[in-house]
Structures are given as C-alpha cells and as structure tokens.
C-alpha cells in the first residue's frame, strides 16, 4: 500500500507548499487546528486498533515459541487483558505509550500537558488519556481484588527489547507456578 493511501496529508498537500503558506491560504496546519477534513480524520482514526498491534504480535509470537499456553484478549476479565494465563491467574496488558499516557516521558517532556502544548484540542487529549490511565488503575484494582496478578508492559519496551519483556512474563509465571 502506498504512502498516499495511508496518510491523507500526502494527498492533500504538495511538497512545494509550506505549512506557513497553507496557513496564509486559510488551510489549517499541523501546528494548530486539524488540517484534515472531518471525514479524512475519521478514516485515519478508524485505522487505529486496540488489538493486533505490532507490540502484541511480537509478544504473542515469542510466547508461542517459548511453549506456554495463553489466551488473548479475554473480554470476561476487567480491562480485557491482552495476554491471560488462567491457570496462574496472571493478566498481562501491553499498553501503547500514547493512549496510556507514557509518551511524554519517552519524549523527555516534563508533563503530559507539555505533549499537547501546540494543540488546540489540548484539553480533549489530556482528559482522554487521563481517563484511559484512570481506567487502567481501576481494572488493575478489580483484577487484583479477584486474586489476579497484573503485569503491564509498554510498547516501547517491547519494540526495544522484546526478549526482555517475555523473560519478565515467564519469570512471573515461574514464580506463580511455585506458589500453586
């Protein structure tokens, strides 16, 4: 699939037209308001998936290689954990940095609000990401109350050192199997 079909900005702007010129022409820029139409933004956002991310695929593949049995995306549990080991009551979440509020740290910023300082929808994004973070805490609490161990892994950790992440999961499983 070509870049033009994946990214509407490539279709809407010419490489010879700069952002300041677009702003002068009345076209909104990436620095401020949205430069996509409502339909284009909707199409772009609809491609974002909560399941089947690259980080999840990497973890699933490495866990299968290690020979452990696990379930994926168990909706019956609070938060729909990405990886579930029912026998050991271990739930693993593979959290995206942006959606779960860690990206500002990985970018070296001092707070979440700094990440959206030039966005006109700053309040919307901060509220949305804070709600996601709060929901993560509630789901973790509910799982722990029901006797589950909860492990959270960040997508950047998976992409940087997938083997380390899987070893961490396997260490938790080993510790839980000794207690069972």
Q: Which range has the worst mean pLDDT, 14-18, 90-94, 111-115, 158-162? A: 14-18
The encoded tokens of residue 64 equal 């299968």
| Residues 6 or more apart in contact with residue 53 via CB below 8 angstroms | 94, 96, 155
- The vertex-176 CA angle with 170 and 180, nearest 5°, equals 140
Nearest to 180 by CA among 145, 141, 147: 147
* Per-chain mean pLDDT for the chain: 77
Domain boundaries, the chain: 3-46, 54-179
Specify whether the CB–CB gap between 162 and 54 falls below 8 A. Answer: no
Kindly tell me if the per-residue pLDDT of 19 is higher than 60: no
Nearest to 81 by CA among 129, 149, 134, 147: 149
- For residue 57, the SS3 value is helix
Kindly tell me if the per-residue pLDDT of 162 is higher than 70: yes
Confidence tier at 174 by pLDDT (50, 70, 90): very high
Kindly tell me if the per-residue pLDDT of 57 is higher than 60: yes
Kindly tell me if the per-residue pLDDT of 138 is higher than 90: yes
The pLDDT assigned to 129 comes to 80
Cα separation, 179 vs 174, in Å, equals: 9
Specify whether the CB–CB gap between 53 and 96 falls below 8 A. Answer: yes
Confidence tier at 45 by pLDDT (50, 70, 90): low
Kindly tell me if the per-residue pLDDT of 127 is higher than 80: yes
Specify whether the CB–CB gap between 151 and 169 falls below 8 A. Answer: yes
Give the H/E segment covering residue 151: strand 149-154
Write out pLDDT tens, residues 79-125. 999 999 999 999 999 988 876 676 666 667 566 676 767 777 778 87
> Which alpha helices (H) appear in 70-161, and where do they start and end?
103-106, 112-115, 122-145, 155-160
The answer as to CATH 3.40.50.150 being correct for domain 54-179 is no
**% of the chain exceeding 70 in pLDDT:** 66
How many CB atoms neighbour CB 27 within 10 A? Answer: 14
């Amino acid at each position: 699939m070509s870049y033009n079909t994946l990214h509407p900005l490539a279709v809407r702007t010419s490489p010879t037209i700069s952002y300041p010129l677009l702003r002068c022409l009345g076209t909104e820029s990436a620095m401020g308001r949205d430069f996509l139409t409502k339909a284009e933004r909707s199409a772009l956002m609809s491609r974002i998936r909560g399941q089947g991310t690259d980080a999840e695929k990497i973890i699933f593949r490495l866990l299968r290689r290690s020979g452990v049995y696990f379930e994926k995306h168990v909706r019956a549990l609070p938060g729909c954990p990405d990886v579930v080991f029912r026998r050991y009551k271990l739930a693993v979440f593979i959290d995206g940095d942006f959606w779960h509020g860690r990206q500002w740290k990985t970018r070296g910023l001092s707070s979440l609000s700094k990440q959206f300082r030039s966005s006109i929808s700053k309040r919307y994004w901060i509220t949305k990401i804070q709600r996601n973070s709060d929901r993560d805490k509630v789901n973790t609490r509910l799982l722990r109350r029901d006797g589950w161990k909860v492990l959270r892994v960040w997508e950047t950790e998976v992409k940087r050192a997938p083997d380390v992440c899987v070893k961490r999961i396997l260490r938790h499983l080993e510790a839980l199997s000794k207690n069972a």
